[in-house]
């Protein structure tokens, strides 16, 4: 059996990050798993009745949000490919002389100008982290569930403006690639893939996901990269992707990502590597070190996004994801008006 691609992790803090550990505080520590972790067979499986209900709830909720709360904001801040040529017509007073078609004017012995229209059509690409750490979250919502809702909201906003939507679903490998298309049915397929796909691998390779985005999206697109950004080694790929596309990092954060609970001795399993470590969570120094490591990781990510001039969005599980997106649109609208 082939081995999984090499996993890119964030140094020593990753092994004891405690994404599974906070779960252990609620329901007991996960037992260690023997042997190497292999890719899962059968990446595609039919949706359970519960997942179908979730899919329907997400559809209803995000369509309403797209219509009521983000209506108009999306189209005003995301532009298409620019201007496209429509026709040549006789010059009229007030026309911009820069658009005079001199060849046609010479043939017709009078001035003619080129007429352009705004090419509104745009492609929205969703780059979604489907690694095992995305299954972690509060009792109310896992990161995967929040990612699906954010993707749905962005997708429904896009198709309302006749834009196309595509998907790159990634773990250590590219799990699913959905070419950009329009229409409600296509959006439902995208959401279904995010919500119901059974990943073959458990780790994260954002570098590969971003490189795939650059390869498959030939024209400049708006790319929402939805992840907790726990992976490492993707910085150059993000820089290259942002040079070609309008990249918007959407960082998913769970409150328990940054706080190690005091539950005494506890076995923590890294949800992506399967590695287990026993930690004395009662030791304040351990908890302080963990908190400092996680805050440094967040700070490093913030600095990276700022360096690349990216409009990053932070979404916390258990809280509204609409407000951060609405704030994003407002920031962009203010810049356009300047």
CATH architecture of 12-76+121-337: 3-Layer(aba) Sandwich (3.40)
On whether the pTM is more than 0.85, the answer is no
Which tens digits make up the pLDDT trace of 225-257? 999 998 889 999 999 999 999 999 999 998 877
Mapped onto helix, strand or coil, the DSSP state of residue 17 is coil
pLDDT of residue 11: 38
Q: Where are the domains of the chain?
A: 12-76+121-337, 83-119
Tell me which of 142 and 28 has the higher pLDDT.
142
Tell me which of 222 and 268 has the higher pLDDT.
222
Please tell me the distance from the alpha carbon of residue 30 to that of residue 110, in angstroms, as a whole number.
Answer: 81
pLDDT surpassing 50 at residue 42: no
CA 275 to chain centre: 26
pLDDT surpassing 80 at residue 159: yes
Angle at 165 between CA 136 and CA 65, to 5 degrees: 65
Please tell me the distance from the alpha carbon of residue 319 to that of residue 321, in angstroms, as a whole number.
Answer: 6
Helix (H) or strand (E) holding 114: strand 112-119
Which of 213, 322, 263 lies closest to 29 in space, CA to CA?
A: 263
Tell me which of 69 and 268 has the higher pLDDT.
268
Tell me which of 11 and 107 has the higher pLDDT.
107
């Amino acid at each position: 059996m082939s081995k999984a691609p090499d996993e890119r992790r964030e140094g020593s803090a990753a092994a004891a990050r405690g994404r599974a550990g906070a779960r252990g505080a609620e329901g007991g520590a996960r037992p260690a798993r023997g042997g190497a972790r292999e890719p899962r067979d059968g990446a595609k499986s039919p949706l359970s009745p519960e997942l179908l209900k979730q899919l329907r709830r997400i559809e209803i909720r995000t369509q309403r949000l797209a219509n009521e709360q983000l209506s108009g904001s999306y189209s005003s801040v995301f532009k298409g490919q620019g201007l496209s040529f429509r026709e040549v017509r006789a010059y009229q007073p007030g026309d911009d002389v820069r658009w005079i078609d001199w060849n046609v004017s010479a043939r017709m012995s009078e001035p003619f100008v080129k007429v352009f229209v705004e090419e509104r059509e745009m492609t929205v690409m969703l780059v979604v982290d489907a690694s095992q750490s995305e299954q972690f979250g509060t009792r109310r919502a896992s990161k995967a569930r929040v990612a699906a809702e954010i993707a749905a909201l962005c997708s429904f906003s896009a198709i309302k403006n006749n834009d196309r939507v595509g998907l790159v679903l990634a773990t250590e490998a590219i799990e699913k690639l959905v070419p950009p298309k329009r229409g409600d049915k296509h959006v439902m397929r995208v959401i279904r893939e995010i919500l119901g796909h059974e990943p073959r691998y458990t780790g994260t390779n954002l570098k590969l996901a971003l490189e795939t985005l650059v390869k498959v999206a030939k024209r400049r697109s708006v790319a929402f990269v939805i992840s907790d950004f726990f992976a490492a080694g993707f910085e150059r790929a993000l820089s290259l992707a942002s040079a070609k596309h309008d990249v918007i990092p959407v960082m998913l954060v769970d409150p328990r990502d940054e706080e190690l609970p005091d539950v005494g001795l506890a076995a923590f399993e890294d949800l992506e590597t399967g590695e287990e470590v026993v930690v004395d969570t009662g030791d304040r120094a351990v908890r302080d070190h963990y908190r400092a490591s996680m805050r440094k990781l967040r700070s490093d990510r913030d600095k990276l996004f700022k360096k690349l001039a990216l409009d990053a969005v932070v979404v916390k599980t258990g809280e509204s994801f609409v407000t951060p997106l609405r704030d994003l649109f407002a920031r962009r609208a203010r810049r356009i008006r300047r």
